[in-house]
Amino acid sequence: MTIRVLIADDQALLRATFQVLIDSCDDMEVVAEAGDGRQAITLAGIHRPDVVVMDIRMPGTDGLAATAAICDRPELQDTRVLILTTFQTDEHVAEALRLGASGFLGKSTTADAFLDGIRTVASGDALLSPVATRSLITRFLALPVPNSVGRDLERFSTLTPREREVLAVVAEGRSNDEIAAALFLSPLTVRTHVQRVKAKTGARDRAQLVAFAYQSGLVRPPR
């Protein structure tokens, strides 16, 4: 199946570069380009892409507002947002994850990592770059958002002890294979637990699940 991608960035040269990279792959294609967040919202509604590659800093409607609008639309529930940012520990990235983005990459990433990132979020997994995950969690996701703590705690009230254990390791930014090795489980079993936790909490994807866990205080950041 071909992954359909919408590129949202205010720099025409970057959009053109991304399009060349994406269209060079047999398993993905660019279906539209947007120069700002408002265009991204409109074009997402028209084309219903699998992935929106979203810059945060754009004139007018920025990437955060566009991410929120796209993730809030029921007809776009299968569309994933991949944030591109210059600063991987930017607090805006944490906010984008809270709003429903499926992950982020630094703009200094390699072409191969960029393309793999699109494939990762298209598959339904989160993409939190190893360089930034722990710093991001410690600095921003661990800070509760006003009036959200009670609601987030309710999300986890039905989790079993094993599901909470798996979630705690997921929140460290580890892959399913790493979690399996740490908890002496099979990767398939870990994947099943993660899917059940997402279903019980209503998390859009793995990234939002991690954000909920830290915001609620269910999982504490490492010292």
Q: How far apart are CA 62 and CA 135, in angstroms?
A: 24
Domain 3-139 and domain 147-216, same fold? Reply is no
Of residues 100 and 118, more confidence is placed in: 118
Q: Are 44 and 76 in contact (CB under 8 A)?
A: yes
Q: Which helix (H) or strand (E) holds 164?
A: helix 161-170
Asked if pLDDT for residue 222 goes beyond 80, the answer is: no
First to last CA, the chain: 43
* pLDDT (0 to 100) of residue 88: 53
Q: Which residues of 82-108 are buried (b: 16+ CB within 10 A; e: fewer)?
A: bbbbeebbbebbbbbbbbbbbbbbbee
* pLDDT (0 to 100) of residue 134: 52
Q: How far apart are CA 130 and CA 139, in angstroms?
A: 15
* pLDDT (0 to 100) of residue 153: 63
* pLDDT (0 to 100) of residue 171: 79
Label each residue of 53-110 as H, E or C: EEECCCCCCCHHHHHHHHHHCHHHCCCEEEEEECCCCCHHHHHHHHHCCCEEEECCCC
DSSP-derived letter for residue 171 is T
* pLDDT (0 to 100) of residue 140: 53
Asked if pLDDT for residue 207 goes beyond 80, the answer is: no
* pLDDT (0 to 100) of residue 67: 94
* pLDDT (0 to 100) of residue 170: 83
**To 5 degrees, how large is the angle CA 106–CA 111–CA 114?**
50
* E-assigned strand segments in the chain: 3-8, 28-34, 51-55, 80-85, 103-106, 127-128
Q: How far apart are CA 159 and CA 164, in angstroms?
A: 6
Interval 13-72: pLDDT, tens: 999 999 999 999 999 999 999 999 999 999 999 999 999 999 988 889 999 999 999 999
* pLDDT (0 to 100) of residue 76: 93
CATH 1.10.10.10 fits 147-216, yes or no: yes
pTM (two decimals) = 0.69
Interval 145-196: pLDDT, tens: 555 545 556 777 889 999 999 988 887 777 788 889 999 999 899 989 998 9
Say which range, 11-15, 87-91, 131-135, has the weakest mean pLDDT: 131-135
Give residue limits of the domains in the chain.
Answer: 3-139, 147-216
Q: How far apart are CA 202 and CA 99, in angstroms?
A: 13
Phi-psi sector, 208: left (phi>0), alpha (psi -120 to 50), beta: alpha
Asked if pLDDT for residue 204 goes beyond 90, the answer is: no
Of residues 41 and 1, more confidence is placed in: 41
Asked if pLDDT for residue 143 goes beyond 60, the answer is: no
Residue labelled with tokens 């059940």: 196
Write the single-letter amino acid at 94. A
CATH fold of 3-139: Rossmann fold (3.40.50)
Which residues, other chains included, contact 50 with Cβ-Cβ below 8 Å and sequence gap of 6+? 3, 4, 5, 78, 79, 80, 122
pLDDT band at 73 (very low <50, low <70, confident <90, very high): very high
pLDDT band at 129 (very low <50, low <70, confident <90, very high): low
